């Protein structure tokens, strides 16, 4: 590396574990060879024969050479050179053999990775250090997700000037959405469903809007986290009350809806990235899971490379497959990969037992069915069910006669946490205690349950079960304590946050950093309740949810602030500023903790550390990188000229006389691979 100044780094030993794959499934072909699937076709544009006037004519001719009936779903101009289409396996193989075809890749299905943060990050005390609102308002954050609820107060444009002249995007109309839904804050909105519909059939417009409108909530939450306007008196049922605002509250927001009920398809994702690059976004925020494959076969990595070349900062979530090692997604070095940590805020709700013992838990329950201030009958779900998995409180597994009028203890796992409470409520239960198992340890995630309920860690849960099994007439009640701040230690690495090492290139340390991702308050939709369950008729303007999906837009918004302060900085320089100023110790000198182990976290958990945006504005040290540096990095990985061309969208041949090394990449952190003997990592 070539630092301008020496910087201390953290070193940690690790052992190589089995590879874990995060939230991605390959679209499969049936045994019938004539069954069609969606393919993304990468073309070598410089090889277009002179007989064609335009590259799209060449694409069409190439496609017609293998199929008379196939139609192009999308043609791509920026993210890649090529198109997507539906073909049989035989047709795909025949097309790949044609001149000028770099690769024909089967489409992938991606999944979403699912207030106080400005104060927690120090942004409230450093207004004089932050860029002026005029410069921030020139920065445009593009968010690829489930769309947007434009009526959210987080997208009010009060006090905003004209849309930046650099903006070339559009506001598309569709189901329940018109061009009037955009304004000087929400300056663009598009939707992409051709890939989804080609595989799963037409969008069911009775269940979701075929438009940029968000009927899920995830996209509104992420986009308002990154760049939502300031909204006073925000809360979820009184929890986390205060002023809610995005990290870059004065930035502009553009949304690209690529995720639907059936998932997010790579042909749609590439089309959205293609448009976002052309539209003129400065930051791309993508809280969705990427494939665990080589960079030249990873559509998100390929699109992100094109964005990086245009000066666009790309932030992606690391995934929610932690605490397993090798569970990361989105690991390309030109992507900023973000893991999740906690805030210093909690929502305590205690379990009080008939034996006089109390156990701490968390809950966002707020409703009319408040438990009476007395002990109530208490039962273990596994003892109130005839199903072998009755302890999990799955749909239809509880016996109403055995749970009616009682508090029920359910074990966490398999079905959604909030659904367990709905199952208890439907069976006549009046409260729930949700106990963690080994998979989640002591990690507590608060939920807006449909009945009085709290979640407890594994240790507390085991002790509560011992009481249930030993007392002939067990009783309990739940005490809700509201919102508490100043919780220490904080932050700690969330157990669900995906971990390194990087399975594709172990020498590149991932995640790059962690940011707030647990119990985050942000904007919500008017079409779904805070739990997302169909039975949840409550409607809220703000919701509290958790995931690396929440930590990713924090970094996207912070990158927008840095871009406003340093408009000439490259994406690599912005990433470097965030990484070299991240911290790995608390103010008392102790190391960041990992909630999954209860011990010190490692660089494979937290990357360079937890973001410190105020320090990042003036890092005093920048590790910069250009597109050619990344191409040399690909040469060091022994990628072929065809594979590199797929990424670079232009001819690039590695110099046979030159010795390339992965360690030559001027990255702000590093990992040294010792093979089977272990490795060191630092930042």
The three state secondary structure string of 612-652 is CHHHHCCCCCCCCCCHHHHHHHHHHCCCCHHHHHHHHCCCC
Contacts 24+ apart (CB under 8 A), 435-439: 435/409, 435/410, 435/411, 435/460, 435/461, 435/462, 435/464, 435/465, 436/412, 436/461, 437/411, 437/412, 437/413, 437/461, 439/412, 439/413
Name the active-site residue from 81, 218, 566, 610: 218
The 10 Å CB-count burial string (b at 16+, else e) for 500-520 is: bbbbbbbbbbbbbbbbbbbbb
Name, in order, each residue with C-beta under 8 angstroms of 356's C-beta and a sequence gap of 6 or more. none
DSSP 8: -
Tokens coding 387: 């199903």
- Helix (H) or strand (E) run with residue 301 in it: helix 299-309
Pair 590, 611: CB distance under 8 Å: no
Pair 337, 507: CB distance under 8 Å: no
Instruction: Compute the distance between CA of residue 463 and CA of residue 31 in angstroms, rounded to an integer.
Output: 51
Active site residue 214: no
DSSP 382: G
Tokens coding 455: 């979640």
Instruction: Compute the distance between CA of residue 358 and CA of residue 355 in angstroms, rounded to an integer.
Output: 9
Count of alpha carbons within 13 angstroms of residue 680, beta-carbon side: 6
Phi and psi at 26, nearest 5°, equal: -80, 130
End-to-end CA, the chain: 11
Active site residue 145: yes
The 10 Å CB-count burial string (b at 16+, else e) for 258-283 is: bbbeebbbbbbbbbbbbbbbebbbbb
Pair 614, 123: CB distance under 8 Å: yes
325: left (phi over 0), alpha (psi -120 to 50) or beta: beta
Name the active-site residue from 84, 145, 490, 601: 145
Name the active-site residue from 224, 503, 549, 576: 549
Active site residue 274: no
Strand partners, 545: 520
Instruction: Compute the distance between CA of residue 643 and CA of residue 624 in angstroms, rounded to an integer.
Output: 24
Residues annotated as catalytic are 145, 218, 549
């Amino acid at each position: 590396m070539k630092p301008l100044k020496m910087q201390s780094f953290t070193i940690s030993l690790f052992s190589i574990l089995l590879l874990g794959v995060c939230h991605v499934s390959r679209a499969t072909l049936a045994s019938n060879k004539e069954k069609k699937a969606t393919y993304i076709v990468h073309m070598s544009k410089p090889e277009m024969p002179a007989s064609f006037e335009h590259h799209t004519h060449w694409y069409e001719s190439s496609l017609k050479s293998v199929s008379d009936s196939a139609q192009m779903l999308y043609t791509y101009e920026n993210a890649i050179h090529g198109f997507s289409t539906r073909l049989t396996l035989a047709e795909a193989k025949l097309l790949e053999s044609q001149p000028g075809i770099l690769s024909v890749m089967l489409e992938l299905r991606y999944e979403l990775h699912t207030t106080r943060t400005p104060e927690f990050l120090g942004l409230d005390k450093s207004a004089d250090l932050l860029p002026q609102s005029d410069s921030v308002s020139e920065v445009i954050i593009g968010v690829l997700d489930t769309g947007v609820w434009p009526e959210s107060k987080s997208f009010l444009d009060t006090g905003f000037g004209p849309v930046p002249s650099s903006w070339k995007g559009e506001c598309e109309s569709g189901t329940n959405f018109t061009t009037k839904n955009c304004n000087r804050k929400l300056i663009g909105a598009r939707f992409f469903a051709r890939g989804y519909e080609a595989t799963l059939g037409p969008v069911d417009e009775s269940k979701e809007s075929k438009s940029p409108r968000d009927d899920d909530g995830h996209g509104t939450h992420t986009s308002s986290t990154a760049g939502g306007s300031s909204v006073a008196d925000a809360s979820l049922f009184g929890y986390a009350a205060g002023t809610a605002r995005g990290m870059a509250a004065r930035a502009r927001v553009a949304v690209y809806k690529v995720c639907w009920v059936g998932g997010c398809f790579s042909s749609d994702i590439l089309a959205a990235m293609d448009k976002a690059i052309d539209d003129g976004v400065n930051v791309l925020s993508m809280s969705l899971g990427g494939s665990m494959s080589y960079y030249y076969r990873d559509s998100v990595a390929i699109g992100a490379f094109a964005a990086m070349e245009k000066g666009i900062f790309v932030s992606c979530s690391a995934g929610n497959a932690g605490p397993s090692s090798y569970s990361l997604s989105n690991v390309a070095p030109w992507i900023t990969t973000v893991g999740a940590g906690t805030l210093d805020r909690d929502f305590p709700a205690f379990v009080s037992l008939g034996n006089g013992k109390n156990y701490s838990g968390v809950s966002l329950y707020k409703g009319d069915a408040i438990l009476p201030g007395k002990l109530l009958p208490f039962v273990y779900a596994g003892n109130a069910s005839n199903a072998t998995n009755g302890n999990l409180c799955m749909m239809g597994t509880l016996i109403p006669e055995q749970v009616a009028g009682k508090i029920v203890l359910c074990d966490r796992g398999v079905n959604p946490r909030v659904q367990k409470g709905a199952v208890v409520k439907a069976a006549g239960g009046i409260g729930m205690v949700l106990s963690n198992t080994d998979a989640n340890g002591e990690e507590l995630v608060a939920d807006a349950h449909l009945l009085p309920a709290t979640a407890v860690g594994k240790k507390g849960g085991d002790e509560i079960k011992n009481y249930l099994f030993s007392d002939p007439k067990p009783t309990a009640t739940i005490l809700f304590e509201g919102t508490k701040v100043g919780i220490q230690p904080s932050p700690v690495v969330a157990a669900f946050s995906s971990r390194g090492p990087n399975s594709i290139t172990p020498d590149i340390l991932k995640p790059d950093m962690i940011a707030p991702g647990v119990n985050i308050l942000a904007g919500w939709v008017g079409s779904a309740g805070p739990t997302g369950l169909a039975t949840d008729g409550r409607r809220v303007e703000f919701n509290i949810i958790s995931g690396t999906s929440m930590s990713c837009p924090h970094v996207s918004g912070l990158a927008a602030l840095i871009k406003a302060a340093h408009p000439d900085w490259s994406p690599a320089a912005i990433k470097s500023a965030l990484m070299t100023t991240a911290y790995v110790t608390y103010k008392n000198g102790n190391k960041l903790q990992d909630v999954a182990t209860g011990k010190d976290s490692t660089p494979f958990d937290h990357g360079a550390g937890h973001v410190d945006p105020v320090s990042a504005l003036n890092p005093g040290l920048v590790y910069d990188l250009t597109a050619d540096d990344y191409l040399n990095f690909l040469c060091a990985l022994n990628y072929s000229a065809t594979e590199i061309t797929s990424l670079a969208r232009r001819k690039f041949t590695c110099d046979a006389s030159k010795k390339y090394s992965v360690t030559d990449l001027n990255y702000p952190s590093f990992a040294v691979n010792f093979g089977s003997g272990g490795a060191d990592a630092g930042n």
